[in-house]
Amino acid sequence: MKTGIFCNYENHHRDARRAIFEQVALVRRAESLGFESAWVTEHHFNDFSVSPSILVLMAHLAGVTSTIRLGSAAVLLAFHNPIAIAESIATLDNLCNGRLLFGIAKGGPFPDQNKHFDTPTSESRPKTLEAMTLIHKLLYDTDVSFSGKYYECASVTVYPKPLQKHIPVYLATSDDEAIAFAALNSFGLMGGAPFSMDTLKNNVAKYRAINSNGFDRLMLARFFFVAPTYNEAVSEALPFLRKFSQRMKAFRSQVQSCDNNSQHLQPINGHKTCFDEDYLLENSIIGNVTTCRDKIKRFQDELHLGTLALNPCSLNLQKNLDSLTRYNQEVQNYV
């Protein structure tokens, strides 16, 4: 299992510039500790996660790092022109010397994104899959002609070509059609912090039923904080989790009004949701060293993880830096 850092660019202090450069500091610390990857999110119209220009942020990280792989988690393809994304991805792979990992998603559960990017929620997934099919052709072929429901082009060649022979691709999804698309193309899967263990296991099983060779390329993001004692870790992480829970619950009515039926967003046991504080705490990697080791071991045993991406969840930069160091020194070598 490889270890990554999950980069949400959380704006805890209502200072976007501070949020951006505190995230950069965390990525640089992760690289110095030997973390293999950094995964950057894309969010729009959101004053909490200030990462709308995902490829710009990744290009900056490419310039201030040298070894850590840089992943998108994820580019929301339905809101972008696929030809422009292919050009940007190929350029970025050259900028980071072949360290790019390309994660994609349909976007959600944030209806404002669909509204302002003029994409009905019912079209997000098919547009995403069609765009990825076109992008894959553009990255590696020349004189590409394509005619789909949403996109078309004739004799297009993008330059530069990627430095990597094949950029690894990941899909963040719990949808059967998208999982099948990933499996048929040997793309990896991504699981976000709220994805339940049952959802993740079902996703892996569906993938493996189609493609038994790529199911272990699962990138799992989890909220994370390790401290000397369990109570200290929970006390430090709980304000972060509470803020996340409150914000996501505020979106639930919008999600329901848009008929978003993503599996990981559905109620658990009839009433609880994956945004409840106790659920988030239970499914995060938060606690003392022993607790964190045990939780990671469970994810490894049940999911055959390829990469675990840690999202540090203190509101204090220095404490997050210290937590990453403690993980490196006391957790990583034992899992």
Which residue(s) pair with 3 in the sheet? Answer: 308
Q: What is the mean pLDDT of residues 22-48?
A: 97
DSSP one-letter string for 73-88: S-EEGGGS-HHHHHHH
Do the Cβ atoms of 203 and 288 come closer than 8 Å? no
pLDDT over 90 (residue 10): yes
pLDDT of residue 249: 76
What is the C-alpha separation between 168 and 22, in angstroms, rounded? 27
Phi, psi of 287 (to 5 degrees): 155, -160
Q: Which residues contact 220 (CB under 8 A, 6 or more apart)?
A: 190, 191, 195, 200, 299, 303, 305, 307, 308, 309
pLDDT over 70 (residue 116): yes
> pLDDT of 159-201, one tens digit each?
999 999 999 999 999 999 999 999 999 999 999 998 999 999 9
What single-letter amino acid sits at 137?
Answer: K
Query: For a pLDDT cut of 90, what percent of the chain falls above it?
Result: 84
DSSP code of residue 48: S
Chain centroid to CA 182: how far?
A: 15
pLDDT of residue 269: 54
Does residue 155 come out as left (phi exceeding 0), alpha (psi in the -120 to 50 range) or beta? left
Chain centroid to CA 216: how far?
A: 16
pLDDT of residue 32: 98
pLDDT of residue 215: 60
Q: What is the mean pLDDT of residues 262-277?
A: 61
pLDDT over 60 (residue 270): no
pLDDT over 80 (residue 290): yes
SS3 (DSSP) at 96: coil
**To 10 degrees, what angle do helices 16-32 and 317-326 make?**
20
Q: How many independent structural domains does the chain possess?
A: 1
pLDDT of residue 272: 64
pLDDT of residue 37: 98
Residue the block writes with tokens 């993740």: 200
pLDDT of residue 335: 82
Q: What is the mean pLDDT of residues 322-332?
A: 97
What is the C-alpha separation between 182 and 201, in angstroms, rounded? 16
| Radius of gyration of the chain, Cα coordinates, nearest whole angstrom | 19
pLDDT of residue 274: 76
Does residue 208 come out as left (phi exceeding 0), alpha (psi in the -120 to 50 range) or beta? alpha
Query: For a pLDDT cut of 70, what percent of the chain falls above it?
Result: 93
pLDDT over 50 (residue 144): yes
Between 130 and 216, residue with greater pLDDT: 130
pLDDT of residue 217: 85
pLDDT over 90 (residue 66): yes
Quick one: pLDDT band at residue 251, thresholds 50, 70, 90? confident
pLDDT over 60 (residue 237): yes
- Least Cα distance to 290 among 334, 321, 258 occurs for 334
In 258-304, alpha helices (H): 277-283, 289-303
Domain containing 29 — which CATH number?
3.20.20.30
Q: What is the mean pLDDT of residues 304-325?
A: 97
Environment class of residue 133 by beta-carbon count within 10 Å: exposed (0-12), middle (13-18) or buried (19+)? middle
DSSP one-letter string for 121-164: HHHHHHHHHHHHHHHHHHHH-SSEEEE-SS-EEEEE--SSPPSS
Average pLDDT, the chain: 93
pLDDT over 50 (residue 218): yes
pLDDT of residue 275: 79
DSSP code of residue 334: G
pLDDT over 70 (residue 260): no
Q: What is the mean pLDDT of residues 106-128?
A: 93
pLDDT of residue 143: 98
Do the Cβ atoms of 57 and 51 come closer than 8 Å? yes
pLDDT of residue 264: 46
Quick one: pLDDT band at residue 312, thresholds 50, 70, 90? very high
pLDDT of residue 317: 98
Do the Cβ atoms of 200 and 191 come closer than 8 Å? yes
Instruction: List the domain range (segments joined by +) for residue 230.
Output: 2-334
Q: Which residues contact 252 (CB under 8 A, 6 or more apart)?
A: 273, 275
What is the C-alpha separation between 222 and 22, in angstroms, rounded? 19
